Amino acid sequence: MPALWISHAQVIDPASRRNAVGDLFVRDGLVVPSLSAAERKRAKKIEAGGLVACPGLVDIHVHFREPGQTHKESIGTGTRAAAAGGFTTVVCMPNTAPPADNAGTIQFIKDAAARDAVVRVYPTGCITVGRSGQALAPFGSLKRAGVVALTDDGDCVQSNELMRRAAEYARMFDLPIMDHCQDQSMTAGAVMNEGVMSTRLGLRGWTNAAEDLVVARNAILSGYTGAHIHLQHISSAGAVEIIRRAKADGLRITAEASPHHFALTDDALASYDTAFKMNPPLRTEADRKAIIAGLRDGTLDCIATDHAPHTNYEKDREFDSAPFGVIGLETALAVSLEVLVRQNRFSIPRVVDLLTRRPASIVGLRAGTLAVGAPADICLFDPKGRWTYDAKAGFSKSSNSPWHGQTLTGKVRLTVVGGRIVFDGARIV
């Protein structure tokens, strides 16, 4: 593998507090302080004036559908979409078929990643057997198999007692629990946010309380057990405030926000377009602003895409019948730059932090930094680069994106994993 020399980039690495125009050097897959004169002559040099070089992005919430649902996505296609979006590390959810509730399925995922992935893939294991919410999965064997967290994502553990036991055991094995916060007794048949728009469209509404109650439950259980509980894809202003209070009390709670929830509202559903149908649903402008405020003050710890592929024939149905979920890996950086930097005056280093160091720290990954000696996982992007996103021509196997056909600003020019270029701005290398 030749050495790599990225020259004259704006190097942003929140983990090492670096933010300056300079050079980035890579040898043997690692970030190094410099290259010798002889090495520089042989190195692959990339002139990066006007571009930002940051750690490869980290997404701790993706659905790659393998095993069992590879008509929607596979580890191969999903990681290619990740690379095109600047992501070098992803954490896969266990709602596969069969569910990842045992060491054998975890090994299958790891083998598929070793064979087909172009970025780093880490598996999670189920909290309950079959994600059924009835009995705990074997946490010990899942930990030995290599999971980095436990979650029934897509299904929330409804039993408070079972969730308490899960938190106790997860703490014993030093694994965070990730929870999809939804009281299912309050959302039966619901397909969008409960409010003015759901009434106007005649669709069954989904109350914020269904999220808020479970967020509060998890905060209480974290305090009771000492477990680290991570709250997924927060969408409600009430939930943001509960998390803010929990953190003020010193509880081991972390939380994420997804780009669609801080960029869009339920007004986007006016045309019944199922590309905007997701779980939790798009909410109101007040909720959207609360999520942005939570990202600004640290109440919400990171950005995660909840990349959830579905085929066109599954999404092209009546709104009530279509599945929940949108893809987001290829657009997350551009959407975050547009909404947070240009519209809400976040700094670019702050957004980079939300997409690198912070998510990596939640699950204890050796990622999200360009410190000397770290794996050379790098995202090189043009913060002013304009491009039109064609989801149907993207790298994901599915195209269910709310940003299909839109012109976005912020273009990934290069993605490097372990010192090897895997995306050159146009194609997977």
| CA–CA dist 82, 122 (Å, integer) | 13
pLDDT (tens digit per residue) in 366-419: 999 999 999 999 999 999 999 999 999 999 999 999 999 999 999 999 999 999
Mean pLDDT for the stretch of residues 69-81: 98
User: Which stretches of 94-242 are assigned E, i.e. beta strand?
Assistant: 120-123, 150-151, 177-179, 192-193, 205-206, 229-231
Predicted local distance difference test score (pLDDT) of residue 69: 97
Mean pLDDT for the stretch of residues 268-288: 98
Residue 169's pLDDT band (cuts 50, 70, 90):
very high
pLDDT (tens digit per residue) in 101-145: 999 999 999 999 999 999 999 999 999 999 999 999 999 999 999
Residue 274's pLDDT band (cuts 50, 70, 90):
very high
Residue 347's pLDDT band (cuts 50, 70, 90):
very high
What does DSSP assign to residue 381? Answer: E
CB atoms within 10 A of CB 29: 15
Nearest to 262, CA basis, from 241, 239, 244, 236: 236
| CA–CA dist 340, 356 (Å, integer) | 16
Residues 6 or more apart whose Cβ sits within 8 Å of residue 395: 77, 80, 81, 83, 84, 330, 428
Predicted local distance difference test score (pLDDT) of residue 421: 98
What does DSSP assign to residue 375? Answer: B
Catalytic residue among 59, 101, 266, 306: 306
Does position 80 have pLDDT exceeding 90, yes or no? Answer: yes
Predicted local distance difference test score (pLDDT) of residue 218: 98
Does position 1 have pLDDT exceeding 90, yes or no? Answer: no
Domains, the chain = 56-362 (3.20.20.140)
CB atoms within 10 A of CB 189: 9
Annotated catalytic residue 306: yes
